[in-house]
Amino acid sequence: MSRIGKKAVTIPSGVTANVEGQTVKVKGPKGAMQLVVHDDVVVKMDKGGVKLDPRNDTKRARSMWGTSRTLVANLLAGVTKGFEERLEINGVGFRAAVQGKKLQLQLGYSHDVDYPIPEGITIATPKPTEIVVTGMDKQKVGHVAAEIRDFRPPEPYKGKGVKYAGEYIFRKEGKKK
């Protein structure tokens, strides 16, 4: 029995939600989004919220129940507050700058890395060693942050590279004589 799935997703003020079959459409101050919920889960509007229930008592239906509820909750959070992911750059000469629709990264390679900013995502660089990725879609924000981190993941000896803010880098000891 899913403890997360049992709770109905409450709709905050200023947000309109609409359920048509398996599609949940949400409109809020930041924009509009929609999600097609898995077929093993029943979605219905319930006094001031969205209620999800498993269609039958199979293992797959029970596992998709909590997942679907969380996805609907992320939709509502995305159109009200949005999501943010912060990245930090460590290393001598490593820096980032936003130029138009591209994020330009200098990460110690012989060339600059240009990353085109996808639609629906905004990237800011408050400092040359800090990148802030924001957007409505949690999955897309996390994916963009992971792609930027993959250009130069942090290495374990000096910690040089791109890392998430607050990420712990396990450090190794160097060679001994």
pLDDT one-digit tens code per residue, 92-127: 999 999 999 999 999 999 999 999 999 999 999 999
Above 90 in pLDDT, residue 84? Answer: yes
pLDDT tens digits, 29-59:
999 999 999 999 999 988 888 999 999 989 9
Q: Are residues 71 and 122 in the same domain?
A: no
Q: Are residues 34 and 91 in the same domain?
A: no
Residue type, 144: V
Over residues 153-169, mean pLDDT = 93
Q: Are residues 75 and 91 in the same domain?
A: no
Residue 139 lies in a domain: yes
Q: Are residues 101 and 134 in the same domain?
A: yes
| Phi, then psi, of 130 in degrees rounded to 5 | -135, 135
Edge-to-edge strands, sheet with 23-28: 16-20, 23-28, 31-36
Q: Are residues 24 and 74 in the same domain?
A: yes
pLDDT for position 7: 86
Q: From the CB of residue 71, how many other CB atoms can be counted at a distance below 10 Å?
A: 20
Please state the domain count of the chain. 2
Above 70 in pLDDT, residue 2? Answer: no
CATH number at 28 reads: 3.90.930.12
DSSP string, 45-111: EETTEEEEEESSS-HHHHHHHHHHHHHHHHHHHHHHT-EEEEEEEESTT-EEEEETTEEEEE-SSSS
Over residues 4-25, mean pLDDT = 88
More confident call, 47 vs 135: 135
Above 70 in pLDDT, residue 164? Answer: yes
Residue 22 has which token pair?
């398996």
pLDDT for position 1: 61
Q: Are residues 66 and 89 in the same domain?
A: no
Q: Which residues have a Cβ under 8 Å from the Cβ of 158 and sit 6 or more positions away?
A: 91
User: Which of 167, 159, 138, 164 shows the shortest CA–CA distance to 149?
Assistant: 164
Residue that terminates a domain, selected from 80, 95, 127: 80
Q: Are residues 108 and 40 in the same domain?
A: no
pLDDT for position 80: 93
Residue 161 has which token pair?
């590279």
Q: Is 136 helix (H, G, I), strand (E, B) or coil?
A: coil
* Domain with 13 in it: 3-80
Residue 172 lies in a domain: no
Q: Are residues 87 and 158 in the same domain?
A: yes
Residue that terminates a domain, selected from 26, 47, 80: 80
Residue that terminates a domain, selected from 80, 104, 139: 80
Residue 176 lies in a domain: no
